Protein backbone atom coordinates (compact mmCIF):
# COMPACT_ATOMS: atom_id res chain seq x y z
CA UNK A 1 0.00 0.00 0.00
CA UNK A 2 2.85 2.38 -0.62
CA UNK A 3 3.74 4.60 -3.52
CA UNK A 4 7.16 6.06 -4.29
CA UNK A 5 7.32 9.84 -4.63
CA UNK A 6 8.61 9.57 -8.20
CA UNK A 7 5.48 7.67 -9.23
CA UNK A 8 3.23 10.35 -7.75
CA UNK A 9 5.18 13.07 -9.57
CA UNK A 10 5.04 11.12 -12.84
CA UNK A 11 1.25 10.70 -12.63
CA UNK A 12 0.75 14.39 -11.94
CA UNK A 13 3.05 15.42 -14.77
CA UNK A 14 1.32 13.04 -17.17
CA UNK A 15 -1.97 14.86 -16.58
CA UNK A 16 -0.51 18.36 -16.18
CA UNK A 17 2.58 18.39 -18.42
CA UNK A 18 3.62 21.96 -17.55
CA UNK A 19 3.41 21.32 -13.82
CA UNK A 20 6.25 21.94 -11.44
CA UNK A 21 5.92 19.22 -8.84
CA UNK A 22 7.78 19.11 -5.53
CA UNK A 23 7.20 16.11 -3.32
CA UNK A 24 8.50 15.59 0.16
CA UNK A 25 7.95 12.58 2.42
CA UNK A 26 6.29 13.52 5.71
CA UNK A 27 7.00 10.12 7.21
CA UNK A 28 9.38 7.67 5.62
CA UNK A 29 6.72 5.02 4.96
CA UNK A 30 5.91 5.60 1.27
CA UNK A 31 2.44 6.66 2.31
CA UNK A 32 2.58 10.19 3.74
CA UNK A 33 3.67 12.98 1.45
CA UNK A 34 3.50 16.71 1.02
CA UNK A 35 3.24 17.99 -2.54
CA UNK A 36 3.34 21.41 -4.10
CA UNK A 37 2.05 21.57 -7.65
CA UNK A 38 2.37 24.70 -9.76
CA UNK A 39 0.63 24.69 -13.14
CA UNK A 40 -0.86 27.20 -15.56
CA UNK A 41 -3.75 24.74 -15.97
CA UNK A 42 -5.01 25.91 -12.54
CA UNK A 43 -5.60 29.44 -13.82
CA UNK A 44 -9.14 30.58 -13.17
CA UNK A 45 -10.00 27.55 -11.02
CA UNK A 46 -10.71 27.72 -7.32
CA UNK A 47 -8.76 25.66 -4.77
CA UNK A 48 -11.29 22.82 -4.67
CA UNK A 49 -11.16 22.50 -8.47
CA UNK A 50 -7.35 22.67 -8.47
CA UNK A 51 -7.06 19.92 -5.87
CA UNK A 52 -9.58 17.80 -7.76
CA UNK A 53 -7.43 18.09 -10.89
CA UNK A 54 -4.48 16.66 -8.98
CA UNK A 55 -6.63 13.91 -7.45
CA UNK A 56 -7.88 13.05 -10.93
CA UNK A 57 -4.29 12.84 -12.15
CA UNK A 58 -3.70 10.28 -9.40
CA UNK A 59 -6.50 8.20 -10.88
CA UNK A 60 -8.40 7.22 -7.76
CA UNK A 61 -5.34 6.29 -5.72
CA UNK A 62 -5.92 9.18 -3.36
CA UNK A 63 -7.71 8.07 -0.22
CA UNK A 64 -6.95 4.45 -1.10
CA UNK A 65 -3.46 3.34 -2.08
CA UNK A 66 -2.18 6.76 -1.13
CA UNK A 67 -3.37 7.64 2.36
CA UNK A 68 -1.97 11.08 2.87
CA UNK A 69 -0.93 13.71 0.41
CA UNK A 70 -0.82 17.15 1.90
CA UNK A 71 -1.43 19.33 -1.10
CA UNK A 72 -0.72 22.91 -2.05
CA UNK A 73 -1.58 24.11 -5.56
CA UNK A 74 -0.68 27.39 -7.24
CA UNK A 75 -0.51 29.07 -10.62
CA UNK A 76 2.92 30.21 -11.87
CA UNK A 77 3.91 33.76 -10.95
CA UNK B 1 -26.69 4.65 -1.32
CA UNK B 2 -29.44 7.16 -2.12
CA UNK B 3 -30.56 6.88 1.51
CA UNK B 4 -27.05 7.87 2.50
CA UNK B 5 -27.14 10.82 0.12
CA UNK B 6 -30.42 11.87 1.65
CA UNK B 7 -28.94 11.67 5.16
CA UNK B 8 -25.89 13.66 4.05
CA UNK B 9 -28.08 16.32 2.44
CA UNK B 10 -29.98 16.68 5.68
CA UNK B 11 -26.83 16.87 7.79
CA UNK B 12 -25.28 19.64 5.68
CA UNK B 13 -28.51 21.60 5.34
CA UNK B 14 -29.53 21.33 9.00
CA UNK B 15 -26.20 22.58 10.35
CA UNK B 16 -24.44 25.81 9.36
CA UNK B 17 -20.95 24.40 9.84
CA UNK B 18 -20.28 20.67 9.63
CA UNK B 19 -16.96 18.86 9.81
CA UNK B 20 -16.88 15.26 8.61
CA UNK B 21 -13.88 13.81 10.41
CA UNK B 22 -12.22 10.71 11.83
CA UNK B 23 -12.87 10.66 15.57
CA UNK B 24 -14.29 13.53 17.59
CA UNK B 25 -13.06 17.08 18.23
CA UNK B 26 -11.81 15.94 21.65
CA UNK B 27 -10.29 12.73 20.33
CA UNK B 28 -9.42 13.07 16.65
CA UNK B 29 -8.21 9.80 15.15
CA UNK B 30 -6.11 11.26 12.35
CA UNK B 31 -3.65 14.13 12.06
CA UNK B 32 -5.57 15.81 9.25
CA UNK B 33 -8.84 15.72 11.19
CA UNK B 34 -6.99 17.06 14.21
CA UNK B 35 -5.69 19.97 12.14
CA UNK B 36 -9.18 20.74 10.83
CA UNK B 37 -10.55 20.83 14.39
CA UNK B 38 -7.73 23.15 15.50
CA UNK B 39 -8.49 25.55 12.65
CA UNK B 40 -12.22 25.71 13.46
CA UNK B 41 -11.40 26.19 17.15
CA UNK B 42 -9.11 29.10 16.25
CA UNK B 43 -11.92 30.62 14.21
CA UNK B 44 -14.12 30.47 17.31
CA UNK B 45 -17.03 29.09 15.40
CA UNK B 46 -19.75 26.68 16.55
CA UNK B 47 -19.79 23.52 14.46
CA UNK B 48 -21.27 20.07 14.25
CA UNK B 49 -18.89 17.16 13.76
CA UNK B 50 -19.65 13.79 12.20
CA UNK B 51 -17.36 10.89 13.08
CA UNK B 52 -17.17 8.90 9.85
CA UNK B 53 -15.49 5.99 11.65
CA UNK B 54 -18.81 5.30 13.41
CA UNK B 55 -20.73 4.81 10.16
CA UNK B 56 -19.35 3.02 7.10
CA UNK B 57 -22.19 4.30 4.87
CA UNK B 58 -21.34 7.88 5.75
CA UNK B 59 -17.60 7.22 5.46
CA UNK B 60 -17.91 5.98 1.87
CA UNK B 61 -20.95 8.06 0.97
CA UNK B 62 -19.44 11.44 1.81
CA UNK B 63 -16.64 10.88 -0.69
CA UNK B 64 -19.10 10.44 -3.56
CA UNK B 65 -21.44 13.12 -2.19
CA UNK B 66 -18.68 15.75 -2.26
CA UNK B 67 -16.69 14.19 -5.11
CA UNK B 68 -13.71 14.44 -2.77
CA UNK B 69 -11.55 11.42 -1.90
CA UNK B 70 -10.41 12.18 1.64
CA UNK B 71 -11.59 13.00 5.16
CA UNK B 72 -11.87 15.57 6.78
CA UNK B 73 -14.35 17.64 4.80
CA UNK B 74 -15.81 20.98 5.79
CA UNK B 75 -19.27 22.22 4.83
CA UNK B 76 -20.53 25.75 5.50
CA UNK B 77 -24.21 26.51 4.86
CA UNK B 78 -24.57 23.40 2.74
CA UNK B 79 -21.58 24.19 0.52
CA UNK B 80 -18.46 22.04 0.37
CA UNK B 81 -15.48 24.21 1.35
CA UNK B 82 -12.62 21.73 1.18
CA UNK B 83 -10.36 19.37 3.09
CA UNK B 84 -7.78 20.24 5.73
CA UNK B 85 -5.17 21.60 3.28
CA UNK B 86 -7.65 24.05 1.79
CA UNK B 87 -8.90 24.94 5.27
CA UNK B 88 -5.33 25.72 6.32
CA UNK B 89 -4.59 27.81 3.22
CA UNK B 90 -7.84 29.72 3.64
CA UNK B 91 -7.23 30.21 7.35
CA UNK B 92 -3.72 31.55 6.77
CA UNK B 93 -5.02 33.93 4.11
CA UNK B 94 -7.85 35.12 6.40
CA UNK B 95 -10.36 33.79 3.89
CA UNK B 96 -11.92 31.18 6.15
CA UNK B 97 -12.72 33.73 8.87
CA UNK B 98 -14.12 36.00 6.15
CA UNK B 99 -16.33 33.21 4.78
CA UNK B 100 -17.64 32.38 8.26
CA UNK B 101 -18.33 36.07 8.95
CA UNK B 102 -20.08 36.57 5.64
CA UNK B 103 -22.23 33.50 6.22
CA UNK B 104 -23.01 34.82 9.71
CA UNK B 105 -22.58 31.47 11.41
CA UNK B 106 -22.84 31.19 15.19
CA UNK B 107 -19.78 31.67 17.38
CA UNK B 108 -18.55 28.95 19.70
CA UNK B 109 -19.79 29.38 23.27
B-chain CB neighbours of A75 within 8 Å are none
Structural domain boundaries in chain B: 2-102
- For residue A65, what is the DSSP state? T
Give the pLDDT score at A1: 53
CATH assignment of B2-102, given 3.90.1150.10, 3.40.50.300, 2.60.120.10, 3.40.30.10? Answer: 3.40.30.10
Tell me what percent of the residues of chain B surpass a pLDDT of 90.
93
What pLDDT score was predicted for residue B1? 54
CB B77 within 8 A of CB B105: yes
Under an 8 A CB cutoff, do A68 and B32 touch? yes
* pLDDT tens, chain A, 77 aa long: 578 899 999 999 999 999 999 999 887 777 789 999 999 999 999 999 999 999 999 998 888 888 788 999 999 98
- For B21-61, how does the pLDDT look when each residue is reduced to its tens digit (9 = 90+)? 999 999 999 999 999 999 999 999 999 999 999 999 999 99
* A54 to A25, A68, B73, B81: CA distances (angstroms): 17, 13, 17, 17
Distance in Å from the first CA to the final CA of chain B = 36
Amino acid B32: pLDDT: 93
List of chain B residues whose C-beta atoms are within 8 Å of the C-beta of residue A71: 85
Domains along chain A with CATH numbers: 5-74 (3.30.300.90)
**The pLDDT value given to residue A66:** 84
- B86 with A51: Cβ contact below 8 A: yes
Q: What are the chain A neighbours of B67 within 8 Å (beta carbons)?
A: 52
Beta strands in chain B (DSSP E): 17-21, 48-51, 73-76, 79-82
| B22 and B33 Cβ atoms separated by less than 8 Å | yes
Confidence of residue B66 (pLDDT cuts 50, 70, 90): very high
Instruction: Supply the pTM of this predicted model.
Output: 0.91
Amino acid sequence: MAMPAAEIAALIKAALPDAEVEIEALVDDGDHYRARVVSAAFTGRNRVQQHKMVYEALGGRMGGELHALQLVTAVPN
Amino acid sequence: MSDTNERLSQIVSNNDVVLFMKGTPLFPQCGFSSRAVAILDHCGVAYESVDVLQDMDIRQGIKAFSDWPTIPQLYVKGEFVGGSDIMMEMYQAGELQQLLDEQQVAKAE
